[in-house]
Structure 1
Amino acid sequence: MIPPDRYEESFVSILAEEESVYLYPTAGHWDEQEGHWVASIHGWIFRPLEEHTRRARFLKLFRKSLGIRRKEVTENFLRRAEPFLVECLERRVLRIELGGERYTLDPSGHNGHFHSEILIPPAIAGTPQAPRRVEYSLVLVAGDRRVLRGTIHLLPPRGVSVVSDIDDTLKVSEVASKRRLLANTFIHEFRPVEGMERLLREWGERGASLHYVSSTPWQLYDELTDFFERLELPGGTFHLKKFRWRDRSFFDLLASPKRTKRKVLEPLFNAFPERRFVLLGDSAEKDPEIYAQLAADYPQQVAAILIRDLDGATAEAKRYRKAFKGLPEERFRVFHDTVELGGFELPRVEG
């Protein structure tokens, strides 16, 4: 974990004009024993492919690899393909500023992503009362007028967190069909699952913190957040999939998140052992099975599981009986329309 530092500028990489950095929204938890916040920082540093011929070649390869025909190349596809036609920058050391203090982050990895945990003293961010957000900015060299900011959601030890899948839970993706999934991801306009945005807005207004999970690559983060803003969904942390041309992650670009979803969610449970979690997902992939196992492993934290069924099945279906065996009926619900969740109440948290 990284405390505020006083390192010399020579330790820090200079961000060139053609280089870009994304700073993704993350969460911070209160360390009662040490009396400070522990917050994660996650970002991605990259630069576009400069040579026009090389970019055109990569774009063609990308399109063919996805099985998208030339006549299907839309403005949406060209815009969404752009973040994939980049060079990820390795071993870059960046510095951020938060509340007047500076932190030198850990170097970026081979995929351009960098992760650090920083210590935020209460003099900067206060003590835990209610969920709040703090902003930090990337420290740039003199004369660089770019403003690059990130957000940390500081969550008190006790409270309600809603973990929501995105594909076919909030956004129509049709993951059961690879062809339609690719079209909905790269070609068509994003479409909301009717009623879900109202539900999440209502929960956000009641004080729930949101954590959005998807097998969508981080390269489409801007597209997703634009879509979320149009729907006026509550802000929250995002947990997407890392992708790089040069490794095998290309071959499971939009593969099922069965393994990755648990890997993403367990750190949340471990960082917030006193929070109550509502797990929201759908039947298209393995959400019922993943969530049921998490409920078995973290019985004091998983308060409810809500599954949007896409095939007309009820909670009595064989799949759900098997997945939720041993779980009290009041802790899971299978629904087809958000109207069916009208009587659902977020868990109450004392203190």
Structure 2
Amino acid sequence: MSPESQDENSAAAGTLGQSITDAVSSVTDAVTNKLSLGNDQQQSTGIPSQSLEGTTEHKVAESVGMAGMTAHDMAGSDAMTHMLHNEGSEHEQECMLFPTYGVPTMIDDQPHWKISISGWLYADPPQSRLESVLMAAVRRVAHVTSDSEEDKRLRERSNMFFTTTVRNMQAAVRTVGFVPAQGQAYKAEGPEFGQELITDFESEVQVNSGETGCFESQITLQADHVHAQPDKVFKLQTIYDHLTVPSYGVVDLIPEKGVSIISDIDDTIKITNIPDGKEVIMEYTFLKDTEQVDGMAELYQKWASLGGHVHYVSNGPWQLFPMLENFFAKYNFPPGSAHLRFIDRSDVLSTIRGKPGAHKLEAIPKIMKDFPNRKFILIGDTGELDPEVYQKIYQQFPDQVVKVLIHDVTSERAFKADQEAEARKAEASKPGKKAYLTSLREAIGLHATVTGQASIASSAVDAVTTTEQPDEQAMSTDPNVPVPTKVELFEKRIVQVSEGMRPGVFRLYKDPKEIFDDEVVATAFKENQ
């Protein structure tokens, strides 16, 4: 891949996790500076700044004794120390069990199920005064009215980013039974989900939250005790004395043979508009109601009815999973395992700025190795690095990958950008401006001829326009050398990622209706039932 293509792809691949963490890491400084700006500015310049009196931020800051303080005074003040302490005495401890899958296996010539367990133990502290200041500022910047629907979504979705990890605690996870395999299977409020299901067996495993609060383990069950049911998923429960609410999780029991779907989330099944930049991503993540990419829930339901099992693999952080639970339930997406990124707050920068595509390149091969006899459909979009990631997955598992489906969210944006670039170019090259520049050069040359300094003046004029540009840059501005448009760069990218794949494997689409009756996919389901 050329450096130009890599730069374009990197720019397009600003992940959701990066955007969220960048915002969270800077909001504290931004709010602190804003609250202290008036006093700082007046002291340093003598110029009165815009008054914050009457604003929500000022009222909250005033209530905790920080209004008018400089940023330096705030940092070490008793008021800031007080703000960092939460109101109330107890942190509500909770556990999020991530949706996983079960793998059929043989132990001592007897069929068993190997069930993956994964979760995160965290504390949801009472709202601190600092959090109140931060959220008040966010609402004001986002022009969100208090107690509006947007404000409700903002509070609900941002809440997980104010949680704290519960480290090095012992807990247990036990099997419970089966629940209906519908979109609401993810929800812990459902009548079938919260009840104690009657089973002939029970198995339990001890887990420790470690330094990150996350834990992974396995439970192995005899197949005689567990019979996979196409319309149900297996249910787990966390046993931990300090939990303030019940903690349940689901396990998709996947047969040895069949068709599985590796699915991205943002701009593949849920509208996020990642190519439009961080501000748009934040708006769709924290403020807007979730919307599916039109027709995708229907398509996934169709695949599930044919025996397909879904693995949702995203670069988004686990803090967003409560929102995704609601999204899956809202559109009735089939349940399946979920593989999001854990943002380690003790090492945020290395977590979010790792090698592009690293999370998916770690999660997807593990899934495919667990099911060597299943065929896979890989579905993603062009807004991030899904095409490049899936190319590498295909190279590693060519016999298992039957289809790569890529949602094109780039070409129309690239076409629009090219049009805007042409408009700017046309504006810059209007005859009036050209005539002015040409006339200026001719005037200088004529004056030099009259004064007998023609050769010196001509050299000086030429020196203005003769620069030490890199060859690549000179070529990019030379009218005689065609410059690739953004559309051409996108098309080149798609050609590069699809090279080497079997005919019929790679498909780019704009409208999901285009892939509803894909012949390769239909054949895969028929041959692998």
TM-score, length basis structure 1: 0.84
Task: Describe the superposition over 1:91-142 as per-residue Cα deviations: whole angstroms up to 9, x where unpaired.
Answer: 122112225434233311323211112212223213x686852112223559
Deviation at 1:258, TM superposition (A): 1.1
Contact 1:93 1:104 in 2 (8 A): no
C-alpha displacement of 1:71: 2.7
Larger-Rg structure = 2
Which whole-Å CA distance do the structure 2 matches of 1:124 and 1:94 have between them?
24
The answer on whether the counterparts of 2:91 and 2:125 sit within 8 Å (CA) in structure 1 is no
One-letter amino acid of the structure 1 residue matched with residue 106 of structure 2? E
Match of 2:101 in 1: 27
Q: CA deviation at 1:51?
A: 6.3
SS in 2 for 1:322: helix
In the TM superposition, what are the counterparts of 1:99-138 in structure 2 within 5 Å? 100-126=201-227, 133-138=233-238
Match of 1:192 among 289, 292, 295: 292
Query: Is contact 1:289–1:323 with CA below 8 Å preserved after alignment?
Result: yes
DSSP 3-state at the match of 1:138: strand
Specify the alignment match of 2:258 in structure 1.
159
Residues 71-95 of structure 1 deviation map (CA, whole Å, 9 limit, x = unaligned): 3473211111111111111112211
Task: Please list, as runs of the form range in 1=range in 2, the aligned pairs for 1:259-338 lying within 5 A after superposition.
Answer: 259-310=358-409, 311-312=411-412, 317-338=491-512
Paired letter, 2:225: I
**Which amino acid letter does the alignment assign opposite residue 40 of structure 1?**
S
Structure 1: how far apart are the matches of 2:118 and 2:134? 27
| Residues 122 and 165 in structure 2, CA contact (< 8 A), matched pair in contact too | yes
Q: Compute the TM-score of the two structures, normalised by the length of structure 2.
A: 0.57
1-structure distance, mates of 2:224, 2:91:
34
Aligned length, in residue pairs: 328
Q: Separation in 2 of the partners of 1:79 and 1:256?
A: 31
Distance 1:156 1:339 in 2: 29
Letter of the structure 2 residue corresponding to residue 111 of structure 1: T
Paired letter, 2:219: I
Corresponding residue for 1:231? 331
Superposition deviation, residue 57 in structure 1: 5.7
Per the TM alignment, residue 58 of structure 1 is displaced from its structure 2 partner at its CA by 6.3
Change (3 A) 1:169 1:323: same
Aligned to 1:8: none
Query: How far does the alpha carbon of each residue in 1:164-185 deviate from its partner, in whole angstroms, 9 at most, with x for none?
Result: 1110111111111121111111
| Structure 2 equivalent of residue 11 of structure 1 | none
Distance 2:133 2:374 in 1: 49
| Letter of the 1:258 counterpart | G
1:251 positional shift: 7.7
> Is residue 82 from structure 1 mapped to residue 159 from structure 2 by the alignment?
yes
| Alignment CA distance shift 1:204-1:118 (3 Å) | same
Q: Which has the higher helix share?
A: 2
Q: Retained in 2: the 8 A contact 1:130–1:155?
A: no
- In the aligned structure 2, how far is the partner of 1:49 from the partner of 1:57? 16
Task: Determine the C-alpha separation between the residues in 2 that align with 1:280 and 1:160.
Answer: 13
1:69 aligns with 2:141: yes
Deviation at residue 294 of structure 1 after TM alignment: 0.5
For the structure 1 residues 264 and 145, does the alpha-carbon distance in structure 2 shift closer, same or farther, using more than 3 Å as the test?
A: closer
- Contact persistence 1:96–1:137 (CA under 8 A): yes
Read off the aligned partner of 1:322 and give its amino acid letter: Q
Contact 1:308 1:335 in 2 (8 A): yes
More strand by share: 1
Contact 2:170 2:208 in 1 (8 A): yes
- Corresponding position: 1:241 with 2:341: yes
Distance 1:323 1:178, change over 3 A: same
Query: Structure 1: where are the runs of 5+ without partners?
Result: 1-15
Give me the whole-angstrom Cα distance separating, in 2, the residues matched to 1:194 and 1:242.
Answer: 29
Shift of 1:148: 2.5
The question of 1:41 aligning with 2:121 is answered no
Pair 150,215 (structure 1): closer, same or farther in 2 beyond 3 Å: same
Q: CA RMSD in A?
A: 2.9
Cα distance between partner residues in 1 of 2:504 and 2:358: 27
| Distance in 2 separating the partners of 1:45 and 1:138 | 10
Q: Distance in 1 between matches of 2:286 and 2:311?
A: 23
Instruction: Provide closer, same or farther for how the CA distance between residues 59 and 266 of structure 1 changes in structure 2, counting only shifts above 3 A.
Output: farther
3-state SS of 2:358 partner: helix
Find out whether 1:258 has 2:357 as its counterpart. Answer: yes
Amino acid at match of 1:275: R
- Counterpart of 1:41 in structure 2: which amino acid? I
2:114–2:219 contact (8 Å) kept in structure 1: yes
Contact 1:258/1:290, CA 8 A, preserved across alignment = yes
Aligned twin of 1:209: 309
Structure 2: how far apart are the matches of 1:59 and 1:257? 31
Structure 2: which 5+ runs fail to align?
A: 1-89, 146-150, 176-198, 413-486
Aligned-residue offset at 1:147: 3.5
1:148 to 247, 250, 258: 247
Change (3 A) 1:30 1:131: farther
Q: Post-superposition shift, 1:53?
A: 2.4
Q: Secondary structure at the match of 1:136?
A: strand
- Do the aligned partners of residues 57 and 267 (structure 1) sit closer, same or farther apart at CA in structure 2, a change above 3 Å counting? farther
Secondary structure at the counterpart of residue 517 of structure 2: coil
